[in-house]
């Protein structure tokens, strides 16, 4: 067959570079698969965290029913609104991530938690 080769000869350096690029591509594909699993686990942990917050809030106010009864309607509305705001920020973070950073969400959650704490403290003050 004359001097014509169907496949050109590949030097060891070129073969090594192709293997490195293929390995990096394989790692990227595998990493993406791990990322999907991690995202799923993150969502499960998020749901469990929200349920734990709800259980904590329910148990807290169940043990302090008298404190809840002395709150005015406005104070009750502020506490419930802040609690719903915290839940919305936690559950809805993926939807608002393009507008506000994770640190911003944490700051808002802390501010809402402080509002709840302040209202409860204010209701226990002697009038």
94 inside domain = yes
Integer angstrom CA distances of residue 10 from 2, 37, 63: 20, 39, 76
On the 0-12 / 13-18 / 19+ scale of CB atoms within 10 A, 112 is buried
| Confidence check: pLDDT of 127 > 60 | no
For residue 61, what pLDDT is reported? 76
47 inside domain = no
54 inside domain = no
Measured in Å, how far apart are the chain's first and last C-alpha atoms?
Answer: 106
36 inside domain = no
Domain that holds residue 120: 64-127
Number of domains, the chain:
1
40 inside domain = no
| Confidence check: pLDDT of 78 > 90 | yes
Question: Left if phi > 0, otherwise alpha if psi is -120 to 50, otherwise beta: which for 99?
Answer: alpha
pTM: 0.55
103 inside domain = yes
């Amino acid at each position: 067959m004359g001097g014509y080769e169907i496949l050109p000869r590949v030097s060891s350096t070129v073969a090594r570079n192709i293997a490195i690029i293929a390995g990096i591509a394989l790692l990227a594909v595998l990493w993406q698969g791990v990322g999907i699993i991690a995202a799923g686990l993150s969502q499960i942990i998020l749901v469990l965290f929200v349920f734990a917050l709800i259980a904590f809030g329910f148990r807290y106010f169940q043990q302090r029913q008298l404190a809840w009864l002395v709150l005015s309607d406005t104070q009750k509305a502020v506490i419930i609104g802040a609690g719903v705001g915290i839940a919305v920020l936690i559950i809805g973070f993926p939807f608002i991530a393009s507008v506000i950073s994770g640190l911003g969400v944490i700051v808002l959650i802390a501010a809402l938690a402080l509002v709840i704490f302040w209202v409860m403290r204010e209701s226990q003050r002697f009038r």
